[in-house]
Chains A and B, each alone.
Chain A
Amino acid sequence: MTTVRMRDLRKRFGATTALDGLDLDIGVGVTGLLGPNGAGKTTLLRCLATALAPDHGRIEAYGLDPADSRQRTALRRRLGYLPQSPGLYPNFSAAALLDYVAVLKEIVDPAVRRAEVRRVLEEVGLSDRANVKVRKLSGGMRQRLGVAQALLGGPDLIVLDEPTVGLDPEQRMLFRALISRLGETRTVLLSTHQTEDVGALCERVVVIRGGRAVFAGAPRALAQLADGQVWRSAGRPGGGAVYWRTAEGDYRTLGEQPPDGVAVPPSIEDGYLKLLGPAPAGTTR
Chain B
Amino acid sequence: MAWHVDAELLQAYEDGSLTPSRVMAVDAHVQACAACRASVPAEAAWLDRTWLAVADTLVADRPSPVEWLLRRSGLPEHRARLIAATPALRLSYFAATAAVLAFAVAAAHTGQTGARVTLLLFLVLAPVLPVLAVATAFGPPADSMHEITSATPMAGPTLVLWRATAVVGPSMAMGVVAAAASPGPGWWAAAWLLPAFLLCAGTLALATVLPLPTAAALLGGVWVLVALAVSTSAPLVQGALFGPAAQFGYLLAAVVAVVVLTLRRRHLDPGESR
Contacts and interface: CB of A to CB of B under 8 A. Distances in A.
Chain A bound to chain B: yes
Contact of A81 (B78, B148, B266): B148
A100 B85 contact: yes
Interface in B135-177: 143-156
B77 interface: yes
Contact of A89 (B55, B59, B144, B155): B144
Nearest to A46: B147
Given A76-B155, A95-B59, A101 B52 contact: no
B141 to A, nearest CB: 10
Given A100-B85, A130-B55, A76 B273 contact: no
B70 to A, nearest CB: 13
B271 A51 contact: yes
A66 B55 contact: no
Interface in A46-83: 46, 49-55, 66-67, 69, 72-73, 76-77, 79, 81-83
Interface residues of A, number: 44
Contacts of A86: 145, 147-148
Contacts of A130: 55, 58-59
Contacts, number: 106
Interface string A86-116: 1111000101100111011110101000100
Contacts of B148: 81-83, 86-87, 101, 104, 149
Contacts of A66: 271
Contacts of A100: 81-82, 85
Contacts of B152: 76, 101, 104-106
B56 interface: yes
Contact of A87 (B144, B155, B156): B144
A224 interface: no
Nearest to A111: B56
A152 B254 CA distance: 40
A118 B146 CA distance: 24
Contacts of A105: 152-154
Nearest to B149: A104
Given A69-B269, A100-B81, A118-B55, A87 B151 contact: no
A114 B152 CA distance: 18
A103 B149 CA distance: 10
A59 to B, nearest CB: 10
Nearest to A106: B153
Contacts of A159: 151
A51 B77 contact: no
A67 B149 CA distance: 18
A131 interface: yes
A252 B149 CA distance: 47
Interface of A: 46, 49-55, 66-67, 69, 72-73, 76-77, 79, 81-83, 85-89, 93, 95-96, 99-101, 103-106, 108, 110, 114, 117-118, 127, 130-131, 149, 159
Q: Which 8 A-B pairs have the closest CB atoms?
A: A87-B144, A104-B152, A83-B147, A53-B273, A50-B271, A81-B151, A51-B150, A95-B59
Given A86-B145, A114-B56, 20 more contacts: A46-B147, A51-B147, A53-B274, A69-B156, A76-B151, A77-B153, A81-B147, A87-B144, A88-B144, A88-B145, A93-B61, A96-B61, A99-B81, A104-B153, A105-B153, A106-B152, A106-B153, A117-B59, A130-B58, A159-B151
